[in-house]
Amino acid sequence: MMRKEHNDIELVQQLQEETAVDVNALPPRIIKHASKRSKMARYYSIALLWLFILLTAALIMWGYRMH
């Protein structure tokens, strides 16, 4: 039984060494997982700008038709 436990410990240590990653080799988290919030804020701003432009154009056209 002692031999089995020893083999298990060696196996675990070997797996840990194989899967170890150098932290300095990894890219920063902000690059790897870019925030969707900034993308959504940009799309939201563009959508609001277009709505404002369309509303302004519609009100100008409505004003010309009424007079």
Residue 3, token pair as written in the block: 């031999």
pLDDT in tens, 36-56: 788 888 899 999 999 999 999
Query: pLDDT at position 65, please?
Result: 94
Residue 63, token pair as written in the block: 């004003």
Query: pLDDT at position 1, please?
Result: 47
Q: Which residue has the higher pLDDT, 9 or 6?
A: 9
How many whole angstroms separate alpha carbon 16 and alpha carbon 10?
10
Tokens 């010309």 identify what position?
Answer: 64
Domain boundaries, the chain: 28-67
Confidence of residue 10 (pLDDT cuts 50, 70, 90): confident
How many whole angstroms separate alpha carbon 67 and alpha carbon 64?
6
